[in-house]
Amino acid sequence: MTVKTQNLFDLSGKIALVTGGSRGLGRAMVLGFAAAGADVIIASRKLEACESIAKEVQKMGRRAMPIAAHVGRWADLERLTNAAYSEFGRVDVLINNAGMSPLTSSNLETSEDLFDKIVAVNFKGPYRLMALIGARMAEAGGGSIINISSVGAMRPQPFVCPYAGSKAALNAITVAYAQEFGPKGVRVNVISPGGFLTDVSTAWAGDRQILNRVSLGRFGQPDEIVTTALYLASDHSSYTTGANIVVDGGGR
């Protein structure tokens, strides 16, 4: 079989849904997927932020649907799923990107409310959205689900303990869903980013101790996550499922 490398990640005619798509890595993936030819559904809690990036996508000649949804609430995910299928008729790519990564002063002082919020957004939400959309993908004969995890799940630190645990749980259910949906042609994979310079990185962006553990000697830029996501979304990753791809500059 000869692999055609021209337009390797062409997503023309595809529909992608990105949670947490209005900023940071999500925004970069929304714009990257639109540039590759996909129409996009942009979900986050703030509608105005979704509408702003939707306008950027539309200027690129692609369709975009902004929608406000809290991924930690299953009723919102039902509404998001129904709206996406009502507007586009299908979803080809689901990117579970929305997440919470607060630093905690100590595990003893972490409140139950904060713990529950982190678990709801990082684990409970993706679990449900994969079930809702993955089942429809399976009925349609295929699709790609990409979960955005973190190297923190593999190299946890005390000050991000609930976050690391929720992302480790996300990694676990990725494998389970890959097994469940694989026979129906739906692939489920994980990207585990390291330190990326986004609007939520201010708490650690100047931390030399963290940077010294990165082989490339720098933090990532949001657009550097896009190619990995495009690979997992495209047909050229057709034999890749249940995988965890680390994009962290060579962290150690």
Rg value, the chain, Cα: 17
Catalytic residue among 22, 144, 167, 177: 167
DSSP SS3 for 96: strand
**Number of CB atoms found within 10 A of residue 134's CB:** 21
Query: Which class for 61: exposed (0-12), middle (13-18), buried (19 or more C-beta within 10 A)?
Result: exposed
Instruction: Kindly name the residue from 163, 166, 192, 234 that is annotated as catalytic.
Output: 163
Residues in a beta bridge with 196: 220
Looking at 22, 101, 144, 149, which residue is catalytic?
149
Q: How far apart are CA 50 and CA 162, in angstroms?
A: 27
Nearest residue to 155 via CA among 143, 144, 163, 147? 163
Q: Is 149 a catalytic residue?
A: yes
- 172: its two tokens: 């676990």
Which of 9, 60, 50 is CA-nearest to residue 26? 50
The verdict on whether 46 is a catalytic residue reads no
Q: Is 167 among the residues known to form the active site?
A: yes
Q: How many residues does the chain have?
A: 252
Which amino acid belongs to residue 29? M
Catalytic residues: 149, 163, 167
